[in-house]
A and B are shown apart, each in its own frame.
Chain A
Amino acid sequence: MRVDVTLPRLVGTRQSADALFVAAVGRNRNVDTLVLRARAVLNAAPSFVDEIVRLAEEKGIAKVELVGESTELHKQFNEAATRRGGNVEIISAALV
């Protein structure tokens, strides 16, 4: 199951990541892909990104799919996922 979230233009704190994640995923245990619509994101502080990846790993979500993200944001997610052991795959949405 995929869960779809649109990120705001500025994302920064772990608490914000927690709130966003809980609102999107909640107690659902069947999520395998978290889709983050990131076209509007202008800046993301590292802790926000790390917290999303941490929560995805904790919930057993295998993939975080970024849609419309900047190169920098993709790099941040990749680095966070790698640092945490590579259990969450970061992918870009395919252009259609």
Chain B
Amino acid sequence: MADLPPWRVPRLVTGDAFEQVLDLSRVDFVMPRGIVAIATYVESAVREGVAVRVIGPSSPDISRYLSRAHLPHVLNELGVQHDFGMVRERNLGNRLVVLTRFSNNNDVVALADSVRDFAAPYGTGSADALHTAVCEAGENVETHAGTPHGYLVAQYYPGNRAFRFALGDSGIGFYGRLSQIGATDAGHALEMAGRAGVTTTGDPFRGLGISSIRNQLVALNGTFVLSTQDRERFFSPRNGEGFASANTGNTVGSLVYGEFFAG
């Protein structure tokens, strides 16, 4: 089965500058990063005045999963036509933090607190890592992205005791921001973003957010990925400095995602 990685979103789109169809009918596996990528893509298109229509997955399981993850709720909020059916809400316990839009510091703080509670039964290390990630990456959206909204999804996979989370926005992206201080392209911007102390604020002691997320996830034997446009940078215990990947397509704005193990 294939995941729906963020770079596949544009490939699932047909249409023109006025009307676009996002066809998810053949999607057979989705992870948090795919859900956030859909939300940021659709938000960006709507902001440009494009009428977007979303065709839901033909797989009932995938369709239900996306509904339980509240993708249709966000599509409704964005005024987007879709054909997701109704599902019965049920308590998902500490398995899924549904697609949540945040718009300001209060939202980020509340979301970070609730995400920590979500992860706490599986260990304080993972709970703290998620809390730090949402605080740092979430605050970056309001401060740096040039868009008021960001999106988060997090999920716990009991089979391998892994957490996956994704946080993204449809703003100017890493390159749009870091080109102000010398980034020459999207790949260079991601390399800069992963380094401690790189900041556009003018305060030479800032720029710790992204690197602190990376450090915490790597310490939990996890991986962390920065994505923008057609580039990614992948960090792991073996590659603490990260390595570039061009094996991507087109991430709207900025997307960070991580996977790590309960601890």
Contacts and interface: CB of A to CB of B under 8 A. Distances in A.
Interface residues of A, number: 16
A66 B210 CA distance: 26
A45 B127 CA distance: 12
Nearest to A84: B205
B139 A10 contact: no
Counting chain B residues whose Cβ lies within 8 A of the other chain, the interface size class is 20 to 34
Contacts, number: 62
Interface in B150-207: 203, 205-206
A20 to B, nearest CB: 11
Interface of A is mostly: helix
A35 B141 CA distance: 31
B136 A46 contact: yes
Contacts of A27: none
A13 B116 contact: no
Nearest to B143: A14
B28 interface: no
Q: Ordered nearest first, which 6 A-B pairs have the shortest CB separation?
A: A12-B135, A45-B135, A15-B105, A43-B128, A13-B139, A46-B212
Interface of B: 105, 108-109, 112-113, 116, 124, 127-128, 131-132, 134-136, 138-139, 142-143, 203, 205-206, 208-209, 212
10 contacts: A10-B112, A10-B131, A13-B138, A15-B139, A16-B105, A43-B131, A43-B132, A50-B208, A54-B205, A84-B205
